[in-house]
Structure 1
């Protein structure tokens, strides 16, 4: 079960560079649905035909990353962030620069401090650079140039608790994994819905893939499967890793459809699956674009709790991921009727 997720997490796919993730997913699902196609934006859409209402179930393929912005004369590389990343989390991280001639390894460093100088403020991106050990002319020879993608090199691994997985790109390869497993599990089952599983692009920089895919499939309601953070290692707040998937009732851009949320909670109650509810002040997901399509539609977010979110290595619990699959499978087999206007 976890081997597929680990393979997904290993693939490099920052926003705008999702093609390798997309190719991997196509191989996993092409025999399990009625149609697979890629739109002009790069979204991967898998259609499982049914006679009921059209539903969009979305997870984004892209991950956070960096891009080469400037190469100094001494060979140090300045970079821009792709998605929301706290600069302090990047210090001393090993990265690969993806070039047309192959990957070039480097380490992200902070400017040298003089003597006993202390850092009095959190570093900004302009305070950081990538050191490859190469001079500017040598970087040109190996193919490094402005606009190249930069990705972390952390391989996924299990921690002391073998149900807890850590690695890069957990946001949102866990969501992609959930969709893949649902597609595979329901391969031979007829559903009372016309389902479009959409693996979106460029979510991290503006939800662009979700927005454009909606014009093609024109759903009547939708669910986004994503990740969300929790902030208390002692689990003194309601939402924590290993305590079940999270329904996000509100984020910075939307309020989820209450009827859909109630339905998902009832499924969890009947199936005796732990589930959590969260009110978020920051961030949003593809669901905010789904909700605003045309005249608007019901939309909800089912998220997997992740610690160290939007860093080069995050942590999640396989039980939460598995339970997310169980809840969504039941929703697709027995969808609500009263929530859809």
Structure 2
């Protein structure tokens, strides 16, 4: 889990994925035939082979904030990067890059600063970052409009070491799975592109540009999905196996690919779950409608606390996802359309 720890703790909101990209590049560059960064910032690793041409995808970026205004008293107003509930960020530590290094801050609201009760729901407009510096001091340090604020959070384990916790598990778990997959697969028949995309959280953009250039026969996106195990009608649990997203808010996964995954799981006695959801989507949406269309599916890991500063996942779910993909990619099937 040391690689996942480094990936989780890396700073990489949308449009600023450099740290994550460098970690991945260093980890897998000796296991692929070629690896490069495209014009959009996607990292693409290629294991050459015969048909079919397959894309395995995970996104590098995480949710976060960007500075939009600095008040005279030094309190920093931010714009959100990706969707999240602003209230969950209050009290979190952040790092801001300066010309001399880093400065630390705390996300808060003006009422919380003054010791008042926050009676109403915290909105994005209420959020400020307090660094202990005034505007003039911040400007001298090269903190400006458009600077990123990076959430600080350590990776670790809960009461059981099967349960991991950390920031940006969406989708550093997917990045970790692909890295391990690249290292495990020694021989394959297919032509496999492992794609680590940029700017998924703000519009699935890296998936669009990479798919356009690669032109895959089919694709699987590795992402996380939110558990609902504490709802009235639970169906998705942490620790009960990888999860196939049959449908999300904007996409229906390719049934043929879903069937391949299901057959492998059943044959090898790997637990599998299915998600039919109404919220959110993944890179698979834009991949599936690229050019003339690309049959695409989503295989993921259920986590708790999605799009917060600290998620919870089960390492066995991660390991089982790697097993399924390894078995599938050793001899990848030709595409079918239904």
TM tier relative to shorter chain: over 0.9
Residue-by-residue CA offset, 1:11-31 (whole Å, 9 max, x unaligned): 111111111211111111111
Partner of 1:245: 242
Kept after mapping to 1: 8 A contact 2:229/2:235: no
Q: Equivalent residues in 2 for 1:38-187 (5 A)?
A: 38-112=37-111, 119-186=118-185
Q: Equivalent residues in 2 for 1:327-338 (5 A)?
A: 327-337=324-334
TM-score by structure 1 length? 0.95
Residue-by-residue CA offset, 1:81-134 (whole Å, 9 max, x unaligned): 111111111111111112232211111112216999754432111111111111
Query: Aligned residue pairs: how many?
Result: 338
Partner of 2:287: 290
Matched, 1:313 2:310: yes
Unaligned 5+ runs, structure 2: none
Kept after mapping to 2: 8 A contact 1:85/1:310: yes
**Residue 334 of structure 1: how far off its partner (Å):** 3.3
Partner of 2:296: 299
The 3-state SS of whatever aligns with 1:112 is helix
The 3-state SS of whatever aligns with 2:219 is strand
Q: 1:207 aligns with which of 166, 187, 204?
A: 204
CA distance in 1: counterparts of 2:171 and 2:114, whole angstroms: 42
**Residue 10 of structure 1: how far off its partner (Å):** 1.2
Kept after mapping to 1: 8 A contact 2:54/2:218: yes
The 3-state SS of whatever aligns with 1:52 is coil
Partner of 2:323: 326
CA distance in 1: counterparts of 2:118 and 2:2, whole angstroms: 41
CA distance in 2: counterparts of 1:115 and 1:153, whole angstroms: 24
CA distance in 2: counterparts of 1:339 and 1:85, whole angstroms: 37
The 3-state SS of whatever aligns with 1:242 is coil
Residue-by-residue CA offset, 1:147-169 (whole Å, 9 max, x unaligned): 11111111101111111111111
CA distance in 2: counterparts of 1:203 and 1:149, whole angstroms: 17
Q: 2:276 aligns with which of 263, 268, 279?
A: 279
Residue-by-residue CA offset, 1:267-317 (whole Å, 9 max, x unaligned): 111111111000111111111111111111210000111111111111111
CA 1:113/1:170 → structure 2, altered by over 3 Å: closer, same or farther? closer
CA distance in 2: counterparts of 1:305 and 1:121, whole angstroms: 31
CA distance in 2: counterparts of 1:85 and 1:53, whole angstroms: 38
Deviates more, 1:300-309 or 1:109-118: 109-118
Deviates more, 1:311-320 or 1:95-104: 95-104
CA distance in 2: counterparts of 1:192 and 1:301, whole angstroms: 22
TM-score by structure 2 length? 0.96
Kept after mapping to 2: 8 A contact 1:41/1:212: yes
CA distance in 1: counterparts of 2:154 and 2:114, whole angstroms: 35
Kept after mapping to 2: 8 A contact 1:260/1:336: no
CA distance in 1: counterparts of 2:215 and 2:98, whole angstroms: 37
The 3-state SS of whatever aligns with 2:44 is strand
Kept after mapping to 2: 8 A contact 1:221/1:340: no
Q: 1:232 aligns with which of 225, 229, 233?
A: 229
Kept after mapping to 1: 8 A contact 2:52/2:333: no
The 3-state SS of whatever aligns with 2:30 is coil
Residue-by-residue CA offset, 1:30-67 (whole Å, 9 max, x unaligned): 11111111110011111111112111110011111111
CA distance in 2: counterparts of 1:42 and 1:223, whole angstroms: 20
CA distance in 2: counterparts of 1:29 and 1:338, whole angstroms: 27
